[in-house]
Amino acid sequence: MRPALLHVTNGESAGNTLRQTALGGAVLPWQDALHEGPVPAIARQQLLRTRARFLADCGWGRQQALLSSLERRDQQLLDALRDGLQVVLWFEHDLYDQLQLLDVLALAHADGAEPELIVIGSFPGRPSFAGLGELTASELETLWPSRRRAAAASLEAATTAWAALRAPEPTALAEWAKRETAQLPFLAPALRRLLEELPAPVDGLSGTERRALQAVAAGAHTPPAAFVATQRLEDAPFLGDAWFYRALSALGQGTTRLLETDDGTPLPLPPPLSDNQLFARLQLRLTATGEGALRGEADRVELLGIDRWIGGTHITADNSWRWDSNELKLIRASAR
């Protein structure tokens, strides 16, 4: 028999624990790191193809298999909503989850549906709460009575914020990052963290890149050690180790690289494009240029160039938006 309940959550860690609860139902992990790669304002099927191509290029599998997985995920959600199943969204406060929550709510709103929500930023007895994946099955069960129906205002806010994320310029996104929204209380800080991935005005580093250089400078000389150290610098950790290694590798390329191995060579491609165990054993050090960047005496974009996406905004040397995290202000590169 088809279950009458569908739990939608961020990934397999929380998903597997939900399967161990006494709540019953099916579990659907949303499974996409929307803070990385292109999320442009195009039709849904084209968006899924774009995401699948990006994830395949990062080494996460074959493009067609990834696309099929994303299509099945979307269809499972829409079928559940259209068939009148009880759909409950389980998400947390960090950037990874908040972008997934926007995606799911926007899809539900377009279909005229109102799923239920369990969205938390803390948990009793866990002062350093980092996410649903660290909770036990019995702890997840205690959250069940707190679920609430997604109100029309929540669905409309999520849909508008999702459109802002996907816009070709980050101006609307920056407005959402400064707007406290009662229906989506964790959204604004998450979007501020996303905007930190734009180059900073002084050094051109993203928030992740700066934390990585700071960690290595402070003595975290392997990729796993640097990853752990950077997570401690985050108010709401959201980044997986493989995505962090991707940022490390980008800093370690070319003659003007900011990081290198202790024998003075560039960093290899990150996992899963290279061997994870070999990458994890690398010994890292800052170059003199990297030390200068940390002091604000060198600019990462000028040294290494840039070609990355923040939602629907393609950041290149010719379209290099920057974000002042102190002033909460966008800056065009030409206005520096």
Residue among 246, 220, 249, 250 nearest 233 (CA) = 220
Scan for tokens 């068939």, then name that residue.
Answer: 83
pLDDT band at residue 335 using 50, 70 and 90 as cut-offs: very low
Residue pLDDT, tens place only, 195-233: 999 999 999 999 999 999 999 999 999 999 999 999 999
Mean pLDDT of the chain: 96
Backbone phi, psi, residue 15, to 5°: -60, -45
Distances (CA, A) of 167 to 99, 135, 186, 335: 14, 35, 21, 21
For residue 272, whether the previous peptide bond is cis, meaning omega lies within 30 degrees of 0, is yes
Does residue 334 surpass a pLDDT of 90? no
Does residue 108 surpass a pLDDT of 90? yes
Residue pLDDT, tens place only, 113-164: 999 999 999 999 998 898 999 999 999 999 999 999 999 999 999 999 999 9
Q: Which two tokens stand for residue 122?
A: 């803390």
Contact yes or no for 50/38 (Cβ under 8 A): yes
Average pLDDT value for residue range 251-271: 97
Residue among 234, 37, 224 nearest 128 (CA) = 234
Does residue 336 surpass a pLDDT of 90? no
Residue pLDDT, tens place only, 138-150: 999 999 999 999 9
Average pLDDT value for residue range 275-294: 97
